[in-house]
Amino acid sequence: MLRQRIITAVILFIVIIAALWMGLWAFTAVAAIAMGACLWEWLRLAKWNNALCLQIGFAAAVFFYWLEMFQPIDVNVLQSGNGLLIIS
């Protein structure tokens, strides 16, 4: 079990480093896919329908990617002192 986790960590580390090297678009895509996969896994743990979990996870990944890369320029994002983002 530990061996599998170490192999997975090394592969994910290589993917993250490669995405950082390739630029903002690639890193944002990897981060969005990771967030979508996390949501998919959480919904599966909550015993939702597997097909629905996959659709929601994919939609979340697309939304997070769009939110980071294609947000309107006139949206002002402020960071509060406690780490929360405030969209005004």
pLDDT tens figures, 32-88? 999 999 999 999 999 899 899 999 999 999 988 888 887 655 455 555 555 555 554
What is the mean pLDDT of the segment spanning 11-32? 90
Query: On the CB side of 14, how many CA atoms lie within 13 Å of its CA?
Result: 5
- Domains contained in the chain, number: 1
In DSSP terms, 81 is beta-bridged to none
Dmax (CA) of the chain: 48
| 16 pLDDT above the threshold of 50 | yes
Q: Residue 18 corresponds to which tokens in the numbers above?
A: 């490669």
| 28 pLDDT above the threshold of 70 | yes
Q: Which domain holds residue 28?
A: 2-87
Q: Write down the pLDDT at residue 11.
A: 94
The pTM of the full predicted model, rounded to 2 decimals, is 0.69
